[in-house]
């Protein structure tokens, strides 16, 4: 019997152990940013998955780049000066 994880290829044999790790992997794959997988994993350790999924959805609506994703995240998490 195969699992859902068997349907994805992973950089350097990375095997997600949690839903947050799987989401981090999928988002960086969709944003064509696999070289920065570790950064996405850290984001999912420090921010709610709903927030990061929302940032991804907004980034896709604005063109779908990794720069858009991080700009949306900054705009939401940045404290007013």
Give the start-to-end residue ranges of the domains of the chain: 17-77
Q: What is the DSSP letter of 76?
A: H
Phi/psi for 31 (5° steps) reads: -90, 5
Provide the pLDDT for residue 13. 75
Report the chain's terminal Cα–Cα distance, integer Å. 53
Provide the pLDDT for residue 23. 97
**Tens-place pLDDT, residues 28-54:** 999 999 999 999 999 999 999 999 999
Provide the pLDDT for residue 11. 58
> Any idea which residue has 């950064």 for tokens?
39
Q: At what angle do helices 37-46 and 19-30 cross, to 10 degrees?
A: 130
pLDDT band at 81 (very low <50, low <70, confident <90, very high): low
| The model scores a pTM over 0.85 | no
Provide the pLDDT for residue 14. 84
Q: What is the DSSP letter of 5?
A: G
């Amino acid at each position: 019997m195969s699992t859902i994880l068997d349907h994805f290829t992973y950089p350097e044999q990375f095997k997600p152990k949690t839903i947050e790790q799987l989401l981090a992997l999928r988002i960086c794959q969709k944003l064509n940013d696999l070289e920065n997988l570790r950064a996405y994993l850290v984001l999912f350790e420090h921010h709610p998955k709903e927030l990061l999924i929302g940032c991804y959805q907004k980034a896709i609506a604005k063109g779908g780049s990794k720069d858009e994703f991080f700009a949306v995240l900054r705009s939401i998490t940045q404290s007013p000066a």
